[in-house]
Structure 1
């Protein structure tokens, strides 16, 4: 993902369309935040299980990618939970489901499919509703998550294509929005402009 001259937003970007066969159930923004928390909780648990499977199967770099993405989803959960808690201070996050992995190539495809759904369907649908309700905080949180999820999908597909040609590159996780960069060649997050020095290496 290239760094632009301005932080990407719904207003200055053209990749926020909703797929024509959307399968997302859209409620109020508060309901959508809770749904997103549930989805991200499941994704984080799934990727943690996929990381364990990858390590057991000898794919150490891919295990690190899954670990980074699991942590990224926790960032999204935190951002979404903070907004829910403003409206419902007693709201409790859902428990993480039990998950297991299978063959690493299939786990990568499963992960990519989930991330593509979130970036092309779920989050654009939730963003549109938040815009209609004038909830600018939710628009920003959903926007950052949507943009990060597309990069997660890209990382998974690249790892799938290079499954038998791994390198030694590290993955770097943005602590603000969950963007993941592969390798050392960057200065800041292309989504939120957070500096490289604050990123977590995997």
Structure 2
């Protein structure tokens, strides 16, 4: 074992993954990403409406998954000696996480005090280690996917260690006694082009849920780390984030056959970006505006424009391959 650590998803997530999504993880593009604070917006007195909150959460799921997927697509483009396409995927990934996710997290009020953030992280890790991954392992074994079952069980153990580390850090933060544990080190996993390594439909569904849970945890932990004033807590969040992305997500991506050829990866990216720019974000913006959440509506409209630009850039790259 490595020493480490309900919301429907956007159609980009449905398109960029080969499997059906049923995500439930309880936890408390050709341009440069902007640096934005994360937390309740300064000029927002009341929280967004319930529907707007759901739309923010759904879009955050999609942005986190796009960021992680595009990183893998970039690596595949490099393997195919397509550096310009790799850079395109990398730049787009930067925007999805560094601008879109960050801004939406701020509007949602994701980041709280260190204690609140540690408590949320601990709760999520406990759920994954005690319920989600053990259940997935049992179902994968029953479906004949022994390799996936073994990996799910191993990740459950990792998440249990993450939960205990966050718990120790929480006690130190609340009592001023004790120390923050040393952060885990990820064992980076390469994800080359490949076919799915699982057969049972239930395993595919569970695997997709796990993939999205890992990247969401990564994105959240990065934000928590960025906004703490305690260097030890920041290192703990960064270390766990790296494990979630470079180890857990990567291993699961191999099982899922998430990465195809650069040609196929561009097609998936274009479909997802077009959906978000033409359907998802405009719908979210309209609902937010009707609910009086004008700041969120503006952000959704801005993101729709960005995603349209991403789709055009990816289409140009695809045309260049042809």
TM-score, normalization by structure 2: 0.39
User: 1:24·1:125 contact (CA, 8 Å) conserved in 2?
Assistant: no
Instruction: Measure the CA separation in 1 of the matches of 2:248 and 2:165.
Output: 18
Instruction: Measure the CA separation in 1 of the matches of 2:144 and 2:155.
Output: 19
Look up the match of 2:158: 72
Cα deviation, residue 24, structure 1 = 6.3
Structure ranking higher in helix proportion: 2
Cα deviation, residue 41, structure 1 = 1.2
SS at the partner of 2:213? helix
User: 2:217·2:241 contact (CA, 8 Å) conserved in 1?
Assistant: yes
**Aligned partner of 2:203 among 104, 109, 112:** 104
Aligned residues: 133
SS at the partner of 1:103? helix
Would you say 1:118 and 2:217 are equivalent positions? yes
Look up the match of 2:231: 136
SS at the partner of 2:110? coil
Two-structure CA RMSD over aligned residues (Å): 2.3
Contiguous gaps of at least 5 residues in structure 1? 2-14, 90-101, 163-202
Would you say 1:41 and 2:139 are equivalent positions? no
CA deviation profile, 1:112-146 (whole Å, cap 9, x unmatched): 001111112x111101121xxx2111111101110
User: 1:126·1:142 contact (CA, 8 Å) conserved in 2?
Assistant: yes
CA deviation profile, 1:147-181 (whole Å, cap 9, x unmatched): 0000211111210129xxxxxxxxxxxxxxxxxxx
Contiguous gaps of at least 5 residues in structure 2? 1-71, 73-93, 176-200, 259-322
**Aligned partner of 1:86 among 165, 172, 177:** 172
CA deviation profile, 1:75-134 (whole Å, cap 9, x unmatched): 111111111122446xxxxxxxxxxxx8000100000001111112x111101121xxx2
TM-score, normalization by structure 1: 0.60
